[in-house]
Structure 1
């Protein structure tokens, strides 16, 4: 009998809103219906559901079937962008885990991780790893990983994973199509559709691509035929008609936005001059606001959302913050202004000017939860400056959140109980150090006398390290919300799984970032 089925049931319950037990695996519900995918259609080796062994009504269970995988067959679930040597994860990360249970844990994974844990989770989604024991070459976990990347706004990473998989199933094409739409590559999306004759485009996608290609007459004829046959609803027909010829609708309000809004919907509303705000939409739509056609403020806000999620590099927000002078005050304008004044001070090499500007820009970065990207950009430069007072304390914390944390401890020689605790935490050696507060005590326990949750220990004992790591991330998240035992258990589990450096970075973020309660 496989260990801790009870723990697996907990994961299943957590993901029940997104994954039906006998339904398809999917982590998102806003994909464009760009191609027809009937249930009987060949999905190119990607079936829509996983069979689970039946459970007897008398409380017993039938023996579970042995999971088998053809060693010489295709392994789409093993496809990744980061090799084991770079990811820091063992190739057999999933071990004896089963696909549906792993998928449910991924789908149910919360979006509000600390930056170090978010980076770990993104690495898991993109890593080259041996497929689960029951994968069978079907590629279900690959699709779930792609969907979660899309849900997190990691569009370029998702597109690269689709390309690396080399699978042309309708479901993966839908995802590639939407990524192209949201990243401003509409022509590439339509070219891909025309070059795949086995795909059956839906009416809206066909009309959109015909119009993009300049074939307006065929697009209009397709719309009229679809209306006559009842293949599209009235609101969608109105939107498509307005997309093809806006003049007859001048002065009329646009049709109500559908729920959920798909990337194809968003593109057509944009085309008719009625772009839908992306702030209330999934973070993936923020990419659409990164276009030069969008206003500066909209681009900054979109980049902040994506940078906060760890899906675009920090230098993107650097470029946007410094693109021009703020046009007003408040919110994003205050952040851009503070950022510009700090960068100018830093470039001058004048420590006094940096001391004046650093506290303000740090407060603005805290406001937007962009402390770690800021640290990546400026941590090293701040180590090299002779700062004093509040600026020196801030610089030390910024450097600890950067890749140069060890250098910061060597050079800045921190003083004070909190600084001493943080410095010792960089090395993971907290013996004899007094924790400064309750969070510090929860962290210290994980490094002095690790406490593994029963579920985590059972997962490790059952050769299911990957699921144990996902449990650890969730446990730390529980601790951030007030259950400090979750901090101890989550950090302990990360260390037991061989991710000590991640545990140390996470602990530093728990102490430095304002993410409690």
Structure 2
């Protein structure tokens, strides 16, 4: 087992260094920042020209308050709400008042929690992992994406806590320096610094006498390092039930197709990967059997083939089964965003046309979908067509439509949020609006009203419309 474990860690270089003394716990190299790297507090991936948000987004906020609000930001489960949250997290803007590092750390933690590992990694690279917490986050992100080389390049120059030494042991082992790893491990264990699970896992690498001895029982919530160590020791953990970020480990090319499909669907539901990535995975091969997931993939493949051939009759035949299967699986938004643009301009009979409109309302081309697909006087799509135009429906039906209509009607944004925006605290006010939207999604519909009104006043009209259309779709066909 030990040989297979090290094969997973890395190919070891020939020749190990002499072991250091027990008093010289290995540290590592100092990270060098590239010239022109942005300040930690202003780092972002999306400039104001992309987000439409001002450079002063955070400038008037206190960094400590802002970090706490970002850490508390809920995940709503509605794609358009969470997409707006992620835009905020990735925005490039002037730093807040005070030490900006905790704000960047909170932004990265949120991205990791939302399964947006690539975005978290890009933000860390853009800003530079200049603090110990940021280096720890960068290490975890690299492990979860299967890039142990990058992980070890981001370990702390001077370890500050027991878990830092665990990372150091892992990286020394991966680099082939067994003697230094053993010395470091013995030193930190002697100080009582490692948790029992991590210590037990590392000890299995370092002590040949433990060959065949059972590993420690896996914890309910492992660290990324523990997760990788179990895998390297030949007892990989199931990612189902673990935080969303761990699902990326099942997306690696060497994983079985079924494992990758399960992970991709989980990530797509949460908006952590684009629908196109999921559909590309669907298209890799033919389903080997029947069953709910395999039938869903077969239905999507049939629709894709009809679209490739541009045959309206075949599209009309395949669309209902594919849309129904994807929507029932919680993948409707991801699917619609990928497929709706391909339906544009395709003449379809009434039933398929209605489905194409429903999908179009969930895509970026919602206004064009209404113009092309909506039938005048059709009450089934009246509300969706109105919100797509940025207007309240004439006759809202039910509490949700009434709340959405108020948000697109005469409702005004809270004065407190307006004052915050005027004081260069727009980002902080948007975090409060996102919190209200999350509560509104959960059923407190009244909280949707001020949040939507504020988004529209802040110039985030597209986000407001997308949110309304997704909520409307989630409650029933548009």
TM-score band, normalised by shorter chain: 0.7 to 0.9
Distance 1:468 1:228, change over 3 A: closer
| 1:302-317 alignment runs, 5 A limit | 302-317=263-278
Q: Deviations over 1:146-197 (max 9, x none)?
A: 111111111111121112113432221111111111111102222444xx74
> Which residue is 2:94 aligned to?
130
**What number of residue pairs does the alignment pair up?**
443
State how far apart, in whole Å, the 2-side matches of 1:222 and 1:329 are. Answer: 53
Alpha-carbon shift at residue 486 of structure 1 (Å): 1.6
**Would you say 1:92 and 2:53 are equivalent positions?**
no
Aligned to 1:340: 301
Residue number in structure 2 paired with 1:422: 384
Work out whether 1:215 is the aligned partner of 2:177: yes
C-alpha displacement of 1:80: 1.0
Q: TM-score, normalised by structure 1?
A: 0.78
Post-superposition offset of 1:257: 1.5
**Contact in 1 for aligned 2:79/2:333 (Cα 8 Å):** yes
- Contact 2:247–2:263 (Cα < 8 Å) also in 1: yes
Look up the match of 2:201.
Answer: 239
- Unpaired stretches in structure 2, ≥5 consecutive residues: 1-24, 33-37
Structure 2 CA distance for partners of 1:246 and 1:366, relative to 1, 3 Å? farther
Contact preservation (8 Å) 1:246, 1:272: no
Residues 75 and 138, structure 1, Cα contact 8 Å, conserved in 2? no
Which residue, out of 101, 104, 113, partners 1:139? 101
Cα distance in 2 for residues equivalent to 1:216 and 1:98: 46
1:114-513 aligned within 5 A? 114-132=78-96, 134-135=97-98, 137-193=99-155, 197-199=157-159, 202-220=164-182, 222-224=184-186, 226-227=188-189, 230-244=192-206, 248-250=210-212, 252-415=213-376, 416-430=378-392, 433-453=394-414, 455-460=416-421, 463-513=424-474
| Contact 1:383–1:396 (Cα < 8 Å) also in 2 | no
Q: Where do 5+ consecutive residues of structure 1 fail to align?
A: 1-34, 38-42, 45-73
Is the aligned partner of 1:76 residue 2:76?
no
C-alpha spacing 1:36/1:124, structure 2 compared with 1 (3 Å): farther
Give 3-state SS (helix, strand or coil) of 2:408's partner.
Answer: helix
SS in 2 for 1:274: coil
1:476-511 C-alpha deviation (Å, 9 max, x unpaired): 222222222122222112112221221111111111
Mapped contact 1:379–1:402 kept (Cα < 8 A): yes
Of stretches 285-294 and 183-192 in structure 1, the one that deviates more from structure 2 is 183-192
* Relative contact order, higher structure (CA 8 A, sep 6+): 2
Would the alpha carbon gap of residues 128 and 282 (structure 1) be closer, same or farther in structure 2, given more than 3 Å must change? same
Distance 2:195 2:417 in 1: 50
In structure 2, relative to structure 1, the CA distance for the partners of 1:175 and 1:119 (3 Å cut) is: same
Q: For residue 354 of structure 1, report the CA deviation from its aligned partner.
A: 2.0
Query: Residues of 2 paired with 1:401 and 1:476: CA distance?
Result: 18
Q: Structure 1: how far apart are the matches of 2:206 and 2:329?
A: 40
Give RMSD over aligned pairs: 2.9
